[in-house]
């Protein structure tokens, strides 16, 4: 099984959720990394977002973004198991 990397910007509005604790406990294949800047030029100030295996995921709220992140993780894991 492969590893899924979830990168979050320290300035992102997604930080209202403890991403590392929630995702890494639910998905042992996931590593959450917090970076000072993900070079998405201001997206972090406008909406919660993360990058999952190089693909940007964002939504209007942190909760909605988390659901999209989990869906992207599920898709990545499905691709890896094929």
- The domains of the chain, with CATH numbers, are 4-81 (3.40.30)
More confident residue, 38 or 5: 5
The gap between the terminal CA atoms of the chain, to the nearest Å, is: 10
Residue 1 has pLDDT above 50, yes or no: no
The 30-35 sheet, strands edge to edge: 30-35, 4-9, 49-52, 55-58
Task: Give 69-81 pLDDT, tens digit per residue.
Answer: 999 999 999 887 7
Global confidence as pTM: 0.86
Q: What is the pLDDT of residue 38?
A: 66
pLDDT 10s digits, 29-64: 999 988 777 666 666 667 888 999 999 999 999 999
């Amino acid at each position: 099984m492969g590893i899924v990397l979830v990168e979050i910007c320290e300035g992102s509005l997604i930080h209202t959720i403890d991403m590392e604790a929630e995702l890494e406990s639910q998905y042992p294949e996931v590593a959450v990394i917090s970076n000072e800047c993900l070079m998405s030029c201001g997206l972090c100030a406008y909406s919660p977002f993360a990058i999952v295996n190089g693909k940007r995921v964002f939504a209007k709220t942190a909760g909605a973004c988390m659901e999209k992140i989990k869906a992207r993780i599920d898709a990545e894991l499905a691709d890896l198991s094929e």
